[in-house]
Amino acid sequence: MKALIALFLAVAAVPLAAQDSMPPAPYAYRQLDDPAQEAAAQALMETLRCLKCQSQSIADSDAPMAGDMRHQVRTRIAAGEEPEAIRAWLVERYGDYVSYAPQISPVTWPLFAVPLLILIVAALILRRRIGGKGGE
């Protein structure tokens, strides 16, 4: 749980020193004016991994680099770029690690094959257990 995380973080507290003093990027903490564009940006940001803080998306991190990434996402969306194109651009640079939404690839196919398998097994188990004559 997150409570445990905090415990660990506090135990292994990372020094604050490696922090810059620059103001955050313009669109790190500012929404796009167009609500539809902002919604698209928000949806994308929630699925991109913050590289400096593991297990958090860039949409919920205060790390400066996450702010810069939000700025990139928002300005690119505002410039009319498709969200998936932005994801692809980042994946080209950081690999699948940066995206929380795994795409089918030679590395990730089991993530999609296994649920299918589970579905089949579930159906088989249900057929074995259910559908006999009622009662005995």
Partner 1 sequence: MIPELGLAALWLAAALAALQLAGGVLAQRDHAADLAATVRPAAIMQGLLALFAFLMLLRSFVVTDLSVKLVADNSHSMKPLIFKLAGAWGNHEGSMLLWVTVMSLAGGLIALIERRLPERTMQATLAAQGFVALGFYAFLLLSSNPFERLPVPAVEGLGLNPLLQDIGLAFHPPTLYFGYVGLSVAFSFAVGALLTRQVTPEFARVMRPWVLGAWVFLTLGITAGSYWAYYELGWGGWWFWDPVENASLMPWLAATALLHSASVLAARDALRSWTIMLGVVAFSMSMVGTFLVRSGILTSVHAFAVDPERGSFILALLALYIGGALLLFALRAGTISEGQRFAMVSREGALVFNNVMLSATLGIVLLGTLYPLLAEAFGARVSVGPPYFNPVSAIFVVPMLIVMTLGPLLRWRHDNIDRIRLPLAILVAVAVSLALLVGLLASIGLLPMLGLVLSLPLAIAAFLPLVGRRLTRVPLASWGMVIAHFGVAVALFGMASESAFTRERLAAVAIGGTERVAGWQVTLEGIDAVAGPNWTALEARILAQRGAGEPVRITPQARNFWTPPQQTTESAQITRWDGQLYAVIGDQTSDGRWQLRLWWKPFVTFIWYGGVLIALGGVLAIVGRVSGDLKRRRATRRGATRRKERVGLRGEPSAAGDTA
Partner 2 sequence: MKRWTLWLPLGLFAFFLGLAAYQLTQPKDEFVPSTMIGKPLPRFDLRAAADGLPGVKTADFTDGKPRLLNIWASWCLPCIAEAPHLASLREQGVEIVGIAIRDRPEDVARFLATHGNPYMRIGADDLSEVQLAIGSSGVPETFVIDGEGRILHQHIGDVRAADVPELIGKLQEAGQ
- Provide the binding-site residues for partner 1, judged by CB under 8 A: 1-17, 23-24, 29-31, 42, 46-47, 49, 53-57, 59-62, 95-102, 107-108, 110-111, 114-115, 118-119, 122, 125-126, 128-136
Dihedral, 30, 33, 35, 40 alpha carbons, nearest 10: -60
The packing angle between helices 35-45 and 64-78, to 10°, is 140
For partner 2, the closer of residues 93 and 133 by Cβ is 93
> Is residue 44 within 8 Å of 83, Cβ to Cβ?
yes
- Alpha carbon distance 46, 35 (integer Å): 16
- Under the binding rule (CB under 8 A), the answer on residue 78 touching partner 2 is no
- Alpha carbon distance 115, 24 (integer Å): 41
Q: Which of residues 93-132 bind partner 2 (CB under 8 A)?
A: 93-95, 97-98, 128
With CB under 5 to 8 Å by kind, the binding choice for 77 among partner 1, partner 2, none is none
With CB under 5 to 8 Å by kind, the binding choice for 16 among partner 2, partner 1, none is partner 1
For partner 2, the closer of residues 40 and 73 by Cβ is 73
